[in-house]
Structure 1
Amino acid sequence: MPPTLRRHRLAIAAGFATQGFVFIGLTTRLPDVKDRWDLSELGISGVLLAIVLLAGAGSVLAERLSVRVASARVLRAGLVLVAGGAALMLAAPVWPAYLLGVGVYGVGLGMVDATTNMQAVVLERHYGRTILPSFHGAWTFGGLVGAAVTLATADVDLAWTALITVLPLVVAGAAFLPREPGDAGSPAAAADLAVPWRPILMVGLGMVVFYMVDTAAQTWGAVYLDEVVDAPSRWVALATLPYLVASLLVRLAGDSLVERYGVTPVLRVGAVIACGGLVVVTAAPTWPVAVLGFTLTGAGISVVAPLSFSAAARIAGGSVERVDAVIARFNQFNYVGGLLGAVLTGVVGQDELRFGFVVPMVLVLSLLPLARWFGNRAGEEVELSAGRSAGTPGT
């Protein structure tokens, strides 16, 4: 593989890792934020809802910009917004400044989510084999470091933890994948963006399920350990840390697992493991048992997202602009899942958070029938269907 591609791969992986580092750095501090602003579960749900909706807007903005501007430039802008917004969320002296940080971070989050995956699927084309799980493994590694930093700085004033936002500013200067000359903004390329949306829906539903489970675990896990099973405050980040370790290991093995067993069996076995993990969480009598449940959940659910993006890119085909547009739109399923995982878990569990985890526990089993849409054969059938309906706007 040419050294240039390896350099781009490292840069894109750094983008994923940075996003994970900041996101987990924020969510593992939710108990502190909750105490600082005297927020209830419904109040936290409202903040999370705002972030998810604004991230959806940021993803749409990335799609619009990527038609005319290289995704690398949009990614750099998103990283700067993530840094500024997260710094305000952690260090804001007054409530309006905190809300401003929520807004800026939310938009930046969506831009980075969309553009890192745009970059990854285009590079995957250059490699000619599945590499998306390793990129999402980089996100998990970054989140793992973020959770470890939270554990190490548990006694540090919340405002000082804003120093974690230096990292996205540094990574914004990395050697991301440039757009090839002549690829940007031609009328032919713009016409090529008319992608039938319906064929991607079934794969997108799988990603909704993933983000529902993933967001519930990562957003509410620390609160669950803190309030439901009485973990010592210093150890509440353990809801996320082992979850991320398990996710990282499975994602790093994801390329070879898919090559050996196929996409569909890997997803179905993972769904059963994730469901079992959530059963353990909801029934946990003590916090170490709950940590075990979160760990099993992370191992089971972790490869769904990268395989979803790979399937969506395969369905898209065509030019870089076409792939970028499909990935940005497909990324919206991320936020539907985020709403279900972050907001619905909090609303259902407002009186007893234990009940909130029943929702993802049941819905994760929908991956069993959905898994067949992720396989190469299903992808080829969908691609033929998309070709027959070319020029018809997606739903």
Structure 2
Amino acid sequence: MEQAFCDHEPVTSGEVSDPPELHRTRLAVAAAFATQGGVFISLTTRLPDFQDKYDLSNGELSGLLLMMVLLAGGGSVLAETRAKALSSARLLRTGLVGLTVGAALIGASQSLSFFIAAMATYGLSLGMVDATTNMQAVALEHRYGRPILPSFHSAWTFGGLIGAALALATSHLDVGWVGLVAVVPLAVQFAPFLAGIGDPAQESPAPVIPWRPIILVGIGMVLFYMVDTAAFTWGPLFLKNVFDDTPSGLFALAVFPYLLSSGAMRFAGDGLVARYGAVPILRIGAVVASASLAVVVFAPAWPIAVLGFLVLGSGVGVIAPLSFSAAARIAGGEEEDPATRQRRVDAVIGRFNQFNYVGALIGSVLTGAVGEHDLRVGFAVPMVLILGILPLARAFAPGEVSLGKT
């Protein structure tokens, strides 16, 4: 899609309004983000129940998550390659249908082999939706000419909050009921997403992409998803396995407060980034995130750990949207026609999304592997590594990184 917003002077909220012709599309893309978050959190918050249902160890669960993450990466690559011939809107709808099938099969599974196949279907579709929602979002951000990526990611968080609330409300029901979330992506696929521009069938030279500065931003996104995935996948299990007195119906409290503070930060993120810039927000957030993970690691009781997860969300909430904005801005260039820019930014966003899954591997697999016998040790990994955002923050600022040549 088109490049993200151009370099601009800070603006204050209220100076600009939504272009009317894009408002419906913005709502549609936000609904897709919310759907992705809602389904994902609905499933991950019930991982303790799936672990008990199939008698999985932490190591075996890590292997299953590894499979899902790798397949999600494959789905993102598929979206990148097919975006050259098909619009991201069409690919997004295909991915939403896949989420429908995968979630329904997960809920219906009665054997481990069936459950693994269902998780594989879900993982591949998740990668397609993940890449194409961000393709749509950066295109709209360019059209708006100001930061709006944080609000899209806040929609993901809002969906996740709904998913976590449903998990808390239905914790006494059989885990198979989680499959009912499949109706949501099925409905959202009919939303009016942003159509592509130009002729996708027209042959054109491969775009030249400045990968070197983009990789610096990508490393920052790896660090975010390392923390994010650890919180989603291992947070409920942390409350279950580390503390003997955590009520069985409250395991999702590791996720719900994290999403609440993350969503609040993302909701405010458009204005904060426009006013203060990305660099100070990222640096302060990294310190807050490391300190909050220290609270989790050394918590003497489960309510203290929940407090740590609550603060954690406010520290890392805007890293992902700022990563996509920066990557699209760097890739977009300044002089090409819209169709050329679209091809280049689509290619970048599809491939850039792979940093997501590198971080997810660290967060879900490494955290579980290191913490197989003690999840406190597992959560110490992201506690230390998130501080890598401090030297990387400058790469997110417009004009600070030379585009150069790859």
Q: State TM-score, norm by structure 1.
A: 0.95
1:376 aligned partner: 398
The answer to which of 250-259 and 7-16 deviates more is: 250-259
Over the aligned positions, Cα root-mean-square deviation in angstroms equals 1.0
2:182 aligned partner: 165
1:279 aligned partner: 294
Q: Which has the higher helix share?
A: 1
- Matched positions, count: 381
Alignment of 1:139-288 (within 5 A): 139-180=156-197, 182-188=198-204, 191-230=205-244, 231-288=246-303
1:329 aligns to 2:355 (yes or no): no
Equivalent residues of 2:213, 2:395 under 8 A apart: no
Query: 2:172 is matched by which residue type in structure 1?
Result: D
2:9 aligned partner: none
Unaligned runs of 5+ in 2: 1-17, 334-340
Query: 1:218 is matched by which residue type in structure 2?
Result: F
Q: Whole-Å Cα distance in 2 between the matches of residues 236 and 95 of structure 1?
A: 23
Q: State TM-score, norm by structure 2.
A: 0.92
Q: Deviations over 1:160-187 (max 9, x none)?
A: 221011100000111111112x341322
How far off its partner does 1:192 sit?
4.4
Query: 1:323 is matched by which residue type in structure 2?
Result: V
1:128 aligns to 2:142 (yes or no): no
Q: Whole-Å Cα distance in 1 between the matches of residues 193 and 119 of structure 2?
A: 26
Equivalent residues of 1:183, 1:321 under 8 A apart: no
Higher relative contact order (CA 8 A, sep 6+): 2
Q: Deviations over 1:339-368 (max 9, x none)?
A: 000000000000111100000000000000
1:305 aligned partner: 320
Aligned counterpart for 2:367 among listed residues 345, 356, 378: 345
Indicate the percent of aligned positions where both proteins have the same amino acid. Answer: 59
Give every structure 1 segment of 4 or more consecutive aligned residues whose post-TM-superposition deviation is greater than 4 Å: none
How far off its partner does 1:256 sit?
1.1
Unaligned runs of 5+ in 1: none
Q: Whole-Å Cα distance in 2 between the matches of residues 256 and 2 of structure 1?
A: 17
Aligned counterpart for 1:56 among listed residues 70, 73, 77: 73
Equivalent residues of 1:308, 1:374 under 8 A apart: yes
How far off its partner does 1:51 sit?
0.6
Q: Whole-Å Cα distance in 2 between the matches of residues 139 and 269 of structure 1?
A: 23
1:6 aligns to 2:26 (yes or no): no
The answer to which of 117-126 and 318-327 deviates more is: 318-327
The residue matched to 1:376 in structure 2 has which SS?
A: coil
Q: Whole-Å Cα distance in 2 between the matches of residues 289 and 42 of structure 1?
A: 26
1:23 aligns to 2:40 (yes or no): yes
